[in-house]
Amino acid sequence: MTQDAIRVENLTKKFEDVTAVDGVSFGVPSGELFGLLGPNGAGKTTIINMLSTLLAPTSGRAEVAGFDIAASKDDVRRSIGIVFQEPALESKLTGRENLEFHAMMYGIGKAERRARMAEVLDLVELSDKAGTLVEKYSGGMKRRLEIARGLMHRPQVLFLDEPTLGLDAQTRRHIWDYIRKLNKEGGVTIILTTHYMEEADYLCGRTAIIDHGKFVALDTPDKLKDILGGDVVSLEIEGDPSRLLEALERTAWVKTSKLHDGVLSLTMEKGERRIPELINKAQALGLTVACVNLHKPSLEDVFIHFTGRTIRDKEGGVEERNRMIMRSHGRGPRGGRS
């Protein structure tokens, strides 16, 4: 039986009158790549900060690598690696010097330090850039170096908080490949936060969809998409789409229906055959269908199904406040960053 690398029970975090994380419970088996998917401000980073001991929970409990996050903070910190949303590298040092400094903070001896640096630099394909100042690195190279640094002390659990935020599509794909390699070949348990649907779909064995501090769904990406079933047909309506929504809610072959931002999203079997009938129903109500889109269910559709809206990109005040706390108190063992 696989042992859980992480066990969370009713974890809650409140900031004054705002509940950032609201009683979440979940377990992550050793070796899993687990995703926290949700909009900015949903509570993803707050969960990571509590599990990494950077924030104290308001209530609930959690264990990481078998250690209680409240009672055994130093043991937890020695067992984890973290790649933060915001860069935490020393730009005036070389890539190798950044890794060496991190290793020294964890008390890794010189011989092991040199061997481990060679291993992680090779893993993220930065061996030829190890002697280059970090200030000359591209955004993708910096993220790869941060991942390498997070692995220097051989953590059992690696937290990746929005690891591809701000990167171009091609670089993002390369980072995905490194993350998968770490998980599959290295056996590292990874907890990844993201608001990129395709990132969660591509990388994660299981994904928890989180909104307003609560888990609204948790399963494999495929099973989450299967919740909807069939095809998704989206209609842009000229006029009042709520009239068509009301009519379709009484239609047997429409499985689910949601109205968001003026777009009517419907799930059904054989959607391509139903489109003419949908247009006829709209016209019978005096409405005009301006645009029709047909596709298989995505995690975005799952999110809409559970929350009634699309995932939002605007930064939330809770997450911003959380990062400020992290920057102030985010120190690992021996005074170094975790």
Q: Are residues 26 and 134 in the same domain?
A: yes
In contact, 38 and 51? CB cutoff 8 Å: no
Question: Per the domain annotation, does 306 fall within a domain?
Answer: no
Tell me: pLDDT of 264 over 50.
Answer: yes
What pLDDT is recorded for position 336? 37
Q: Provide the terminal-to-terminal Cα distance of the chain, rounded to the nearest Å.
A: 30
Mean pLDDT of 271-276: 91
Question: Per the domain annotation, does 150 fall within a domain?
Answer: yes
* CATH assignment at residue 68: 3.40.50.300
What pLDDT is recorded for position 331? 40
Residue 86's contacts (CB-CB under 8 Å, 6 or more residues apart) are: 323, 327
**Rounded alpha-carbon distances, angstroms, from residue 117 to 31, 101, 148, 210:** 23, 11, 8, 36
What pLDDT is recorded for position 330? 42
* CATH assignment at residue 256: 3.30.70.100
Q: Kindly report the number of other CB atoms within 10 A of residue 216's CB atom.
A: 16
Q: Are residues 196 and 250 in the same domain?
A: no
Question: Per the domain annotation, does 175 fall within a domain?
Answer: yes
Determine the 3-state secondary structure of 292 from DSSP.
strand
What pLDDT is recorded for position 31? 94
Question: Per the domain annotation, does 288 fall within a domain?
Answer: yes
More confidently predicted of 173 and 314 = 173
> How far is CA 6 from its chain centroid?
16
Question: Per the domain annotation, does 264 fall within a domain?
Answer: yes
Q: Determine which of 78-82, 247-251, 274-278, 280-284 has the lowest per-residue pLDDT on average.
A: 247-251
Q: Are residues 155 and 111 in the same domain?
A: yes
Question: Per the domain annotation, does 302 fall within a domain?
Answer: no
Structure tokens given for 230: 């069939």
Q: Are residues 259 and 145 in the same domain?
A: no
In contact, 4 and 30? CB cutoff 8 Å: yes
Sign of the C-alpha dihedral computed for residues 327, 332, 336 and 337 taken in this order? negative
More confidently predicted of 174 and 133 = 133
Q: Are residues 291 and 175 in the same domain?
A: no
| Long-range contact set of residues 272-279: C-beta below 8 Å, sequence gap at least 24 | 272/231, 274/233, 275/233, 278/233, 278/235, 278/248
Mean pLDDT of 158-187: 89
Q: Are residues 242 and 212 in the same domain?
A: no
Q: Cα(259)–Cα(237) distance, rounded to whole angstroms?
A: 11
Structure tokens given for 2: 């696989």
What pLDDT is recorded for position 88? 85
Query: Domain count of the chain?
Result: 2
Question: Per the domain annotation, does 140 fall within a domain?
Answer: yes
> Would you place residue 181 in the very low, low, confident or very high pLDDT band (cuts 50, 70, 90)?
confident
Which uninterrupted H or E stretch holds 24? strand 18-29
Q: Tell me the per-residue pLDDT of 306-333, one tens digit each, with 9 for 90 and over.
A: 887 777 644 444 444 444 444 434 444 3
